[in-house]
Amino acid sequence: MAATVGPGLVGSLLVGLTYAKSISIVRNIPLIGVNHIEGHLQAVFLEAEQAGSPIEYPALALVASGGHTHLFEMAGPNRYRLMGKTRDDAAGEAYDKVAKLLGFGYPGGPVLDALAPYGDARGLRLTPAKMKGNVLDFSFSGVKTAMLRWSQSHELQDEIDSRRALQRVSHHPSLEQWLAVTPQPTRDAIAAFQHLVVEEMVKRLQSAVEESGARGVVIAGGVACNTGLRQAATERRVGCPVRFATPGLSTDNAAMIGAAAWPKFDRGEFSDLSLRAQPNLILA
């Protein structure tokens, strides 16, 4: 019985872990604790193996989600070295916060991704973060703040109200409905936001490939569903083949936890009932 032990919100971790322990006791089956971040990565490796095209090592692994933006070097299976991480907001967190301030609700990342192609990224100048220290670290709080200031400097309340009204009558508005309540200046701002966030991730991947000599790149997590990121990482040719999980296995799911648990099961690495939730668990 596999369950996530961290990282994450302690309340959610405790609910899942307690339930898993109960099943382990009642069914008399082994318990396996799994790192949530490793689960995202193993979803990609699982699909690659099933497709008969395993990922070559050394590889780079980027996990981009609502809670994480981490870049790892993988010298081999289940061997991770952290090369860079976000110093503030995760990529998905920045998407959701910007979507919320523009009145798109939560989760807003998919909506911004859908609207971005209908805007001109040159319509709003956004400056990337100037990083000191580790150049492979990420920072998205600056672009989030820039979008906040842009929204405050424009008269957006009427269009924000119209988007909120749309969501009250339609729980899942269509793209056409979103476009109807999103004027061109806002579309341009969304396009500029997505362009910058994607560029920051792709540039660091390119730098990491050069530094590590990686032969493959894995991109996982909810933000891996982003069409802008998929297109940029594929077309820009970061230096080696890039692999994504299918959208259904990119966001949080049980299959990815099972995929991460299987090597542990194969090696007999089981946990006992003293296993605790670890909100700040690292992957190493």
CB 78 within 8 A of CB 263: yes
CATH topology of domain 1-55+251-284: Nucleotidyltransferase; domain 5 (3.30.420)
Q: How many CB atoms lie within 10 A of CB 18?
A: 11
So what's the pLDDT on residue 163?
A: 95
Angle in degrees, 0-180, between the axes of helices 184-212 and 141-152, rounded to the nearest 10: 170
Q: Is 11 exposed, middle or buried (0-12, 13-18, 19+ CB in 10 A)?
A: exposed
* pLDDT score recorded for residue 121: 95
Mean pLDDT value of segment 101-124: 93
Distance of CA 251 to the CA centre of its chain: 8
Q: What is the pLDDT of residue 155?
A: 87
Q: What is the pLDDT of residue 50?
A: 86
Number of helices (H) and strands (E) in the chain: give both, helices first.
11, 7
Q: What is the pLDDT of residue 78?
A: 85
pLDDT, position 67: 82
Q: Which residues of 222-241 are buried (b: 16+ CB within 10 A; e: fewer)?
A: bbbbbebbbebbeeeebbbb
Residue tagged 């579309």 (tokens): 187
79-85 and 69-76 strand pairing: antiparallel
Domains 1-55+251-284 and 91-240 share a fold: yes
pLDDT band at 53 (very low <50, low <70, confident <90, very high): confident
Distance (Å, whole) CA 178 – CA 172: 10
pLDDT for the residue numbered 191: 97
pLDDT in tens, 26-41: 999 999 999 999 999 9
Average pLDDT, the chain: 92
The strand pair at 69-76 and 59-64 is best described as: antiparallel
Provide the pLDDT for residue 179: 96
Spatial CA neighbour of 63 closest among 89, 36, 87, 88: 36
| Comparison of pLDDT for 51 and 174, the residue scoring more | 174
pLDDT at 164: 94
C-alpha closest to that of 144 among 94, 100, 184, 186: 94
Q: State yes or no: pLDDT of 122 exceeds 80.
A: yes
Is residue 89 scored above 90 in pLDDT?
no
41: its two tokens? 């990565």
User: What average pLDDT does this structure show over 174-193?
Assistant: 96
Ordered by start, the domain boundaries in the chain are 1-55+251-284, 91-240
Q: Please write the tens of the pLDDT for every residue from 62-75.
A: 999 888 899 999 99
Q: Which of 49, 24, 14, 27 is nearest to 263 (CA)?
A: 49
Contacts with 146 (C-beta within 8 Å, 6 or more apart), sequence order: 126, 127
Return the pLDDT at 130. 84
280 pLDDT more than 80: yes
Residues paired with 82 in a beta bridge: 72
Residue with tokens 């690659």: 48
Pick the CATH number of 91-240 from 3.30.420.40, 1.10.3720.10, 3.30.470.20, 3.40.50.1260: 3.30.420.40
How confident is the model over 169-177, as a mean pLDDT?
92
